[in-house]
Amino acid sequence: MSMKKRILVTGSAGFIGHHVVMALREAQFEVVGLDVINHYYDPALKYDRLKEQGFDRSRIGYNTCIRSSDNPSRQFILLDLTDARTLEKLFQEQAFDIVVHLAAQAGVLYSLENPMAYVESNLVGFANMLEACRKHPVKHFLFASSSSVYGQNLEIPFSTSHRTDQPISFYAATKKANEVMAHSYAHLYGIPTTGMRFFTVYGPWGRPDMACLQFARCIAEERTIRLYNQGNMWRDFTYIDDVVTAVTKLLLRAPKVANKKRAPEAPYRLYNIGHNQPVQLLEMVALLERGLHKKASIDLLSMQPGDVPVTYADVESLVTAIGYRPRTSLAEGIGKFLDWFKAYYTAHPVEKAA
């Protein structure tokens, strides 16, 4: 009988999920990636990530588990998390030890246009994941939350002890809902659970709707960058390798009840995963300009709905838990991102956006 830990990574064709899957190469892990590959952004990028993982696009079919050509301990399945019956069958067949739930409908602005996509993926899909973990118990359930949950919080740096009951976007509301839903299952059913509030993750294979890749493409294609709040926007940019290190360290540290002799405490923990050093967006633009040897065209606009002027992570509880602090500087991270960007978009030219 195999002694390898079986890990399910949902959203494995997504940005963070792809890097987590690639990091779990050690012999003690059997990794199953899951994704629905929707059209929120160009699916070609998602399929290219899967190709990097060793999966042949021609073999991908709904509810068909395929094995990587590069790593026999890595599998992938195309599955919609709203398909509760098929999801539960997968859990029954695979007997997962750990679940890293990164699948979600992302994006603050898109939640203003299509809120039902967030209901289906972030609420219904999340509830289905919790139910699957309840019926087929796992040793650790980790899930992606977001710095967006801090909403109108004015205390900085943002701490997990701060209030998060004033979300200012529907996306943020669904991520806050995930946190309280997961806590209830941890309390009721003893599922060891860890929530991870990610802060503006960037790097190779990033999402096209996020600032780093969006700005790089605008500069390269000589299109105008829109900066809101007249450019006075600060973000706690966190390089993908730092995020993956935090996730892979946390997945082997499932929370436990502090003291069983006292009132029961849910085996539930929340962590900020951020760089702990906010940077103005204009500084990122300047680094991209230097790396691409082009000047950006910038349009300064007023604040947009659902957005916040600053994010800033207090990561001391993360450091205490895993002995690791995100450390990649923005200049170093942008350099690595641009190496990938130049190679990828030279090999995969795209039409200029209107």
171 is catalytic: yes
Of these residues, 110, 171, 239, 271, which one is catalytic?
A: 171
Bridge partners (DSSP) listed for residue 310? 234
Residue pair 70/44 in contact by the 8 Å Cβ criterion = no
Helices 211-220, 281-292: crossing angle, 10 deg rounding: 40
Separation of alpha carbons 1 and 264, rounded Å: 35
3-class secondary structure, 5? strand
Residue pair 65/78 in contact by the 8 Å Cβ criterion = no
Write the CB contacts of 58 (distance below 8 Å, at least 6 apart in sequence): none
What's the token pair of residue 12? Answer: 């494995």
What number of other Cβ atoms are within 10 A of residue 263's Cβ?
A: 6
Secondary structure element (H or E) that encloses residue 194, with its range: strand 193-198
What's the token pair of residue 245? Answer: 């290190």
How many residues are recorded in the chain? Answer: 354
Separation of alpha carbons 46 and 38, rounded Å: 9
Residue pair 10/35 in contact by the 8 Å Cβ criterion = yes
Residue pair 21/248 in contact by the 8 Å Cβ criterion = no
Separation of alpha carbons 19 and 198, rounded Å: 14
Separation of alpha carbons 4 and 26, rounded Å: 10
Residue pair 185/130 in contact by the 8 Å Cβ criterion = yes
Residue pair 211/281 in contact by the 8 Å Cβ criterion = yes
Task: Read off the DSSP letter of residue 108.
Answer: T
What's the token pair of residue 29? Answer: 């892990």
What's the token pair of residue 276? Answer: 């702990």
Residues annotated as catalytic (active site), given as ranges: 171
